Chain A
Amino acid sequence: MVGAEEAARLDRLEIQVENGGGGAWEYLCLVHKLKPRRSDKVLKHGLAILNDPKARSNLGGEEWTLYEQVAFAAFDCQQHNVAKVFSLSLPLPLHMCDCVAVLSKEFPGSLRVGRLEGMLLEAENSWAEAEKVYARLLEDNPLDQIIYKRKVAIAKAQGDLKVAVDFLNKYLEIFMSDHDAWRELAEIYVSLQMYKQAAFCYEELLLSQPTVSLYHLAYAEASSLQLWFLLTAFIEQVLYTMGGLENLLTAKKYYASATTLSGGKNTRALYGICLCSAAISQLTKGRSKEEKESSDLPSLAAEALLRDYKYRAPKKLPLLNSMLKNMKLSS
């Protein structure tokens, strides 16, 4: 995850390069370091450097890393970006193969280039061929994390989510401290509506990185998502399950901790507290006073939201106000 300052520097550089102000190499190095997904820009500016013999020789040994970076960018653009078909007139597949060919010539038999060859096949949707390449590479390098992840990517790209989940679980048995993998698995579980399993993944992340507010938020959302679907599906028969209430209480707790970690500035967490409180009061209507909500938290969250909207989004303030009034969180 990229820090705000670095993200700002990246955006500034990007604008500068896009407007012909130079600094392309600096931009590409920053992208390489921070790993945001800006494939179309990387492709454009990377290719510009590679196609200019003088600029290329200035890079010295870094030339090869640039080839690799541009290859990745080209795979990404060809695969996903429909817009590329409209705006770029370069024949992309030609450049993809070029980059990989240049690298295999310079570094024959290399694992790193072998992976690129596999990814080239993936980009061309030749899944079976790509799997063969990876199987071969795995024989000599059985603990290569990247190749395992490519296998997951292939499964995901073909829509085999259950297979992707399987692979990821096997991967995590070996490499259990890979946070990105836990996140990816959680996201796949959410897309399969397996919220309990997703919550388990977020729990792992929370244990190892308890100060990352994003994980608190995600856990809260996973906890409340299943309940939302249940409630909206059976809206006539109101579900008063203890399980439902527990999930809401858990969710509220994690929205609260996300708020604390982010210094009260996280809009989603504040909204989360408000929504959970409203849902909890609905569910506990008619129960004894002791069991009801007794903290100031919901109204504090409401106040914080109102303050923020007043200064930064005044046009939306009336909508927020009326929503909070209906939830009885403000007067």
Chain B
Amino acid sequence: MAADCCYEVSQIAYVKLVLHALKHPSSAVNGLLLGRLRQDGSTATVEVADAVPLSHAQIGLLPALEIALIQIEEHFEAEGLSVVGYYHANERHNDLELGNAAKKIGDHIFRFFPRAAVLLLDNNKLQKLKTGKGRDPAVQLYTRDSSRSWRQTGSDGSNQLTLKEPAANIVLFDYISSEKWQQIVDFDDHLDDISKDWLNPGLFD
């Protein structure tokens, strides 16, 4: 089903997820991807328009995932967006395996959106991007194939996953050098202090 589907990640979503991972370098982080499905004739494109960082705690990765899903879905419904995927960054620097917890959350989202995307942060790609002026996103894309397992799609050379804005990596590096990651708020932070907003309004102003 996902074989003829493209995934286009917006700058906002991409930058948020990388910044979230950078803010918590010694633990795993995860979050939800919001977007919509666009059908142009026979090609389907999943537009990932935004991301909401969920958690960074090491005590499981599901502090009130249920609550986050309910509130996030409701908020974004008004903008015509729904949950289209999930992102995850592993605890260890060079761990490129999609863990069980990530797969299970992915399964849950798949139930409501069969073209669900799971993005796994790739630290090696992220480091390489510093030297070149890469246009590839520093994430791996996983989708569910017909055998009900999560398969990595489009590694080097395939065009299933693209960044919507070509300058996204350049913008990302600007934010990294200015240590923008310190300002990012996730749902976990909100639960610790509800005055913190997981929508991160004004983050990119």
A contacts, CB < 8 Å to B: 37, 76, 79-83, 85-87, 157, 159, 186-187, 190-191, 193, 218, 221-222, 225, 228-229, 232-233, 235, 267-268, 271-272, 275, 308-309, 312-313, 315-316, 319-320, 322-323, 326
Contact = CB atoms under 8 A, between A and B. Distances in A.
B146 interface: no
Nearest to A308: B194
A277 B64 CA distance: 14
B92 interface: yes
B93 A221 contact: no
14 contacts: A80-B26, A80-B93, A82-B126, A187-B58, A187-B59, A191-B101, A233-B104, A271-B64, A271-B67, A272-B64, A320-B71, A323-B70, A323-B71, A323-B74
A159 B177 contact: no
Nearest to A87: B177
9 closest cross-chain pairs (CB), A and B = A313-B194, A190-B60, A319-B71, A80-B25, A81-B25, A312-B195, A187-B58, A232-B108, A83-B22
A239 B152 CA distance: 32
Given A87-B176, A320-B71, 17 more contacts: A79-B93, A80-B25, A81-B25, A82-B25, A83-B25, A85-B130, A86-B130, A191-B99, A191-B101, A193-B101, A218-B59, A228-B66, A313-B190, A319-B71, A322-B74, A323-B67, A323-B74
Contact of B191 (A186, A190, A268): A268
B191 A225 contact: no
Contacts of A275: 64, 66-67
B165 interface: no
B60 A221 contact: yes
Given A187-B58, A267-B191, A87 B93 contact: no
Nearest to A189: B60
B139 to A, nearest CB: 14
Contacts of B10: none
B8 to A, nearest CB: 25
B79 interface: no
A87 B180 CA distance: 12
Contacts of A83: 22, 25, 176, 179, 181
A229 B104 CA distance: 8
A221 B127 contact: no
Interface string B54-76: 00001110111111001100110
A157 B95 CA distance: 10
Summarize B's interface: helix, strand, loop or mixed: helix
Interface in B160-205: 173, 176-177, 179, 181, 190-192, 194-195, 197
Nearest to B123: A82
Nearest to A268: B191
B100 interface: yes
B133 interface: no
B23 to A, nearest CB: 9
A37 B192 CA distance: 18
B50 interface: no
Contact of B62 (A187, A225, A316): A225
Interface of B: 22, 25-26, 58-60, 62-67, 70-71, 74-75, 91-93, 95, 99-101, 104, 107-108, 111, 123, 126-127, 130, 173, 176-177, 179, 181, 190-192, 194-195, 197
A312 B194 contact: yes
A81 B183 CA distance: 17
B107 A233 contact: yes
A82 B104 contact: no
A161 B146 CA distance: 30
A186 B60 CA distance: 9
Nearest to B74: A319
Contacts of B95: 159
A271 B107 CA distance: 24
B197 A159 contact: no
A271 B71 contact: no
A191 B60 CA distance: 6
B74 A316 contact: no
B25 A235 contact: no
Contact of A271 (B99, B100, B179, B191): B191
B124 to A, nearest CB: 10
Contacts of A322: 74
Nearest to A190: B60
B62 A82 contact: no
Contacts of A309: 194
A268 B194 contact: no
Given A232-B108, A235-B111, A323-B67, A86 B26 contact: no
A161 to B, nearest CB: 10
Nearest to A156: B92
Contacts of A267: 191-192, 194
